Amino acid sequence: MKARGWFAGARIRRGACGDWETLASRAAVLDLPAEAGRALAAHVASCARCGAHARREERLTRLLAGLPLPAWPIERPILPPAAAAVAAQAGGDPSMPASGAALAADRARRALRLAPIPTLALVLLILALLSIFRRPAHPTWRLALVSPAGAVTPAWSLAMIGASVEPPLLGESLHLLVDGRDVTAASDVTPDFVLYTTSDPLPPGEHLVAVEVRDRNGAPIDEQLWVVTSEPERMVR
Amino acid sequence: MEPDAFERVLVPERERLLAYLLGMTGEKEVALDLAQETYLAAWQGMASFRGESGALTWLIGIARRLFLRWARREGRRVWLLSQEARAGRTPGLSASPAAAADAAFALAERERRVRIAVFALPAERREAIVLRYFVGLSVGEVASLTNASEGTVKSRLARARAALARQLGEEIEP
């Protein structure tokens, strides 16, 4: 109860004019924020300087919140074209590969699966001939997130992030990035696998995991992204 | 999330997503590229979205991580752009009196001034303003997205607003 006496003499700054006011000492001092709010509102209504300040603040809010949203250009698809094509074919299959090369390979596989046998033989023959006469600059890799299962990890334990690459790399290198940070140096890397164990549990929320294939000069030539969710205990199934 | 949820829930948020990325990068082409990458990552990660946060907040969370990665790569260019904005040297910033007589032009010009003033803010304050006013999130949502407390977000907003009020003086005079 002694505290009431201490609060009784509290002073509040009233507004933009910098005036101070001592609040009356009565039971209402226990409700100081509300009392202060009422005193401020009454002051702003009567003080020209504070009134103008309040109007400026209001205009600034209207100016910021009233800006039109930028329009999405019609000619620009929501997904990159290759991804959109696979999405349309997959009918919402969430295991869609991301990189351009992987998407093209995936599309070709689907097309081949549906093609009649003579067409299939012809296509295979053409591909074989092409592979003899024109070797691609680099093979197409299939990058897959192996761990954590379902891209979900519990937030109370260390996370193991693993990705596989197929076919195995020959001269290229595999790099793992978590939320933009290259953690390859702290990972176990083989020609067809990279595994990273975090030193602390991942904070709850979504984390961006990227695996990059880089050529001998260190330039990225293929990449795949996943969102890994670190979930508190009660949410993990 | 159901298979058609991507079209039904996430695609309609494209303009607010773009507003965030445009506010943060200052370049429309870069913002569009990052928005497409965001949608691609969201499409792949739809299985992990369980609706604890809103679809827009989830989408912006992904966009934020992609933006941070981009900003680390392009740090110097971003810094130069914001310095240009801070110095008010962005081409076409001031309108000629004749052109300003046209109401639509004046409106576009005012919008440009506001965007440049926001872009000139330090990154954390700019992000708070962009998320709160351009995207329209609540203070709580901004706090959870930026891993800061609500008090910190309110403080960033107050400081940013004070800087904007100084910068946009004549625009907000009663």
Q: Which residue has the higher pLDDT, A178 or A10?
A: A178
For position B53, what pLDDT does the model report?
72
Give the tens place of pLDDT for each residue, A120-135.
677 788 877 776 665 5
| Look-up of token digits 């300040």 | A53
Q: Which residues does chain B have within 8 Å of residue A69's beta carbon, measured at their own beta carbons?
A: 15-16, 18-19, 134
Put simply, the answer to whether B171 touches A63 (Cβ < 8 Å) is yes
Range in A4-18, A71-85, B159-173 the model is least confident about: A4-18
For position A173, what pLDDT does the model report?
86
By C-alpha distance, the chain B residue nearest A56 is B172
* Same domain for A211 and A149: yes
* Same domain for A146 and A120: no
By C-alpha distance, the chain A residue nearest B161 is A60
Residue B51 is part of which domain span?
1-73
Q: What's the mean pLDDT in A163-168? A: 84
What is the total count of domains within chain A?
3
CATH number assigned to the domain comprising residue B18: 1.10.1740.10
For position B133, what pLDDT does the model report?
93
What is the total count of domains within chain B?
1
Can you list the residues of chain B whose pLDDT is less than 50? 89-101
Angle at the Cα of A185 from the Cα atoms of A179 and A189, rounded to 5 degrees: 100
Q: Is the pLDDT of residue A92 over 60?
A: no
Q: Which residue has the higher pLDDT, B153 or A2?
A: B153
**Nearest chain B Cα distance for residue A8, angstroms:** 27
For residue A220, name the pLDDT band (cuts at 50, 70, 90): confident
Residue A88 is part of which domain span?
81-133
**Nearest chain A Cα distance for residue B46, angstroms:** 7
Quickly list DSSP for B134-171.
IS---HHHHHHHTT--HHHHHHHHHHHHHHHHHHTGGG
For position B157, what pLDDT does the model report?
92
CB pairs under 8 A between A and B: 130
Q: Is the pLDDT of residue A15 over 70?
A: no
**Nearest chain B Cα distance for residue A199, angstroms:** 20
* Same domain for A146 and A129: no
Q: Is the pLDDT of residue A113 over 60?
A: no
Q: Which residues does chain A have within 8 Å of residue B28's beta carbon, measured at their own beta carbons?
A: 70
For position A25, what pLDDT does the model report?
47
Distance CA A49, CA A51 (A): 5
Cβ–Cβ < 8 Å for A15, A48: no
For position B35, what pLDDT does the model report?
92
Q: Which residues does chain B have within 8 Å of residue A79's beta carbon, measured at their own beta carbons?
A: 36, 39-40, 43
For position A110, what pLDDT does the model report?
47
Give the tens place of pLDDT for each residue, A25-64.
444 445 666 666 777 777 777 888 778 888 888 888 888 8
Cβ–Cβ < 8 Å for A227, A150: no
Give the tens place of pLDDT for each residue, A167-218.
888 878 888 988 878 888 888 888 888 888 888 888 887 788 888 888 888 8
* Same domain for A177 and A226: yes
**Nearest chain B Cα distance for residue A211, angstroms:** 13
pTM: 0.54
Q: Is residue A175 part of a domain?
A: yes
By C-alpha distance, the chain B residue nearest A98 is B40
* Same domain for A170 and A219: yes
Nearest to B133 by CA among A66, A54, A71, A59: A66
Put simply, the answer to whether A78 touches B3 (Cβ < 8 Å) is no
* Same domain for A228 and A163: yes
Put simply, the answer to whether A69 touches B42 (Cβ < 8 Å) is no
